[in-house]
Structure 1
Amino acid sequence: MFISYTPKYPISLYIDCLWRVKGQTATGKEKILPTEHMELIINFGGFHKAMVEPSKPMNFQINKEAWIVGLHTQHLLVESLGDSNMIGIRFKPGGGSAFFNFSMKELESKIIDMSLIWSSFVKEARERVYEEEDINKQFIILEELLLKKLKDNEDRFKIIVPALYKINKMQIDTTIQSISKEIGVSQKHLIQKFNENIGLTPNKLMRVLRFHQVLNTIDPSKDVSWLEIALTNHYYDQAHFNKDFLAFTGMSPTEYISSRKEIYGEQLQKGEDVKFVPLNR
């Protein structure tokens, strides 16, 4: 069961949604592919095992009560060690900087125990959400607690908001040079602001966004022309496309489809689900 909730203003400026997951998953292990969203997860179920460096399988961590997942540019390997029962916060790009006092760059490619950052928040959220049976009221509790953490960071968004708007338009000629020139700041300053507020450079964020456009372009019910998909999504050629796909997923495009078909069959969901690649136990 997955349920999402859109928070009210002003939280909605910085948070994409709150979500709730409860019950068994199709498979205990999965890859989570890079996205533009940081996620804060409060857990009531089984612990989660995670590897942020898939090439180093012995370097894993066990996530227990609450953790935050920073932006990353390669997939995570995660394994649920019990039934899922969690509530989460999905931040908009840059949204985390409206709540935290440190640079979002510190979270890049990391999963951090939230008790090290917001210990009292985690304790109160876990107690109050767990005691409340109504899911909508659970979301309202979390929303109220987040509102207390919201800071007056309007000035921090004067540069990144127009830059994000241009990046999201994703034109073939969109570059960091063109963005910085159009909004009237140096490339160095723009990169600094993205690292502080988003956690990735503009170029890395553009790569992640373009990659997700690809995932939502794929229609597995039809013959897939990877060259056509590459060109449609502004890759120079199929070689660059294949390189990016491998970097993000650790597999080829055809392997990605095959892995998902093993679990979901011919109907591969779009939207939220494209970032998950279930793995057999």
Structure 2
Amino acid sequence: MSMPSLGIINFQQSGHKFQLCRYAPADDVAFFVRHYWVVRWDLAGKDPYTQHVIPNPCVNLVVEPERTAIYGPGKEKYGHHLEGQGSVFGVKFKPGGFYPFVKEAVSSMLNNPLSVEHVFGTDSRSLEAQVFSHSEDGRNVHLVEQMIRAKLPAQDDQVTLINRMVDYVYEQRDITKVEALCEHFQMNIRTLQRLFDQYVGVSPKWVIKIARIQNAAETTDGNDTHNWTKLSMDLGYHDQSHFIKDFKSVIGQTPEEYAALKRAK
């Protein structure tokens, strides 16, 4: 199964360290859930590995031994330490798709994950035991989907609108300002900001920034030579130094440092 990077940094180079699969949800759940994902690794007898991921505007339910929780969108890249053998099962909700389950501002989840029991009434240790008792992805998808379906809220038109907005940002590389988003969707900027705070958990300005930086990182991953001036202009930056500053604030390295690290692998 061929997979997009899903925000994984240096996916082509790091893919041999682990296996990543994702699965589509059933139709009734698909309004809220983007996909289920599974990561497996076998580094027995090998050095541990830290895989970095660029944040995205989605809530994730992560099933992992003793760390199962529901995590809101982050604002910086984060690393997952892989060693020995293991796996993680996850649910990626659509932007805004988790809010109807809790009716609480998703921004409150920043650095404050929710328990599975609080939202879905399922004990996390029991869920872990069921998920990791075997390695059949289809069975786990069915198990977790049944848990979600039991608490499925009414469909919310705002979720549809938010997904149209986020898709527009990722598809239109020349979108650089929130005002352009407001103009296209004919929405007052304060209304837009409140909507994103409540449903998405991060600001529309952040979504625009992260989309451009993810685009830049993936472009860098796919090329051996780089023209940073052209790339910054392609992404709508009029000042290359601004592009470098944004890139480093998310990735933790300048574009040149990031490309050099990729060449060294």
Contact 2:220 2:259 (C-alpha < 8 Å) held by counterparts: no
Aligned equivalents of 1:158, 1:112: Cα separation in 2: 24
Aligned equivalents of 2:256, 2:41: Cα separation in 1: 30
Alignment partner, residue 64 of structure 2: 43
Contact 1:121 1:145 (C-alpha < 8 Å) held by counterparts: no
Aligned equivalents of 1:140, 1:158: Cα separation in 2: 24
Shift of 1:115: 4.8
Aligned equivalents of 1:68, 1:260: Cα separation in 2: 31
Same amino acid, percent of matched pairs:
18
Alpha carbon RMSD of aligned pairs, Å? 2.6
Query: Which of 26, 39, 42 is equivalent to 1:21?
Result: 39
Alignment partner, residue 132 of structure 2: 130
Matches within 5 A, 1:73-222: 73-80=75-82, 83-108=85-110, 110=111, 112=113, 114-115=115-116, 117-118=118-119, 120=122, 122-157=124-159, 159-172=161-174, 175-219=177-221, 221-222=223-224
Query: Which of 248, 251, 254 is equivalent to 1:249?
Result: 251
Shift of 1:38: 2.7
Tell me the alpha carbon deviations over residues 10-48 of structure 1, each in whole angstroms, 9 at most, x when there is no partner: 22222221112223357433433222333221014xxxx
Aligned equivalents of 2:73, 2:238: Cα separation in 1: 25
Tell me the alpha carbon deviations over residues 224-266 of structure 1, each in whole angstroms, 9 at most, x when there is no partner: 111111111112221111001110011111222333444xx4x
Structure 1: runs of 5 or more not aligned: 45-63, 266-281
Structure 2: runs of 5 or more not aligned: 1-18
Question: Aligned pair in 2 of structure 1 residues 221, 162: CA closer, same or farther (>3 Å)?
Answer: closer
Q: Which amino acid aligns with 2:50?
A: K
- What is the TM-score when the length of structure 1 is the normalising length? 0.75
Alignment partner, residue 68 of structure 2: 66
Q: Secondary structure at the match of 1:112?
A: coil
Contact 2:175 2:208 (C-alpha < 8 Å) held by counterparts: no
Contact 1:94 1:197 (C-alpha < 8 Å) held by counterparts: yes
Aligned equivalents of 1:153, 1:106: Cα separation in 2: 22
Query: Runs (4+) of structure 1 moved beyond 6 Å?
Result: none
User: Is the deviation greater in 5-14 or in 113-122?
Assistant: 113-122
Aligned equivalents of 1:23, 1:178: Cα separation in 2: 42
Aligned equivalents of 1:174, 1:32: Cα separation in 2: 22
Shift of 1:223: 1.5
Aligned equivalents of 1:191, 1:31: Cα separation in 2: 28
User: Is the deviation greater in 18-27 or in 140-149?
Assistant: 18-27
Q: Secondary structure at the match of 1:19?
A: strand
Q: Which amino acid aligns with 2:158?
A: R
Contact 1:159 1:183 (C-alpha < 8 Å) held by counterparts: no
- What is the TM-score when the length of structure 2 is the normalising length? 0.79
Indicate yes or no: 2:25 matched with 1:7. yes
Q: Which amino acid aligns with 2:64?
A: N
Q: Which structure's relative contact order is higher, taking Cα pairs within 8 Å and 6+ residues apart?
A: 1
Aligned equivalents of 1:116, 1:131: Cα separation in 2: 20
Shift of 1:133: 4.2
Q: Which amino acid aligns with 1:152?
A: A
Aligned equivalents of 2:112, 2:86: Cα separation in 1: 18
Question: Aligned pair in 2 of structure 1 residues 123, 157: CA closer, same or farther (>3 Å)?
Answer: same
Contact 1:191 1:201 (C-alpha < 8 Å) held by counterparts: yes
Tell me the alpha carbon deviations over residues 138-173 of structure 1, each in whole angstroms, 9 at most, x when there is no partner: 111111211122211414336424433432332525
Alignment partner, residue 235 of structure 1: 237
Aligned equivalents of 2:53, 2:175: Cα separation in 1: 29
Alignment partner, residue 55 of structure 1: none
Aligned equivalents of 1:30, 1:171: Cα separation in 2: 26
Tell me the alpha carbon deviations over residues 200-239 of structure 1, each in whole angstroms, 9 at most, x when there is no partner: 1111111011111112222555311111111111122211
What number of residue pairs does the alignment pair up? 243
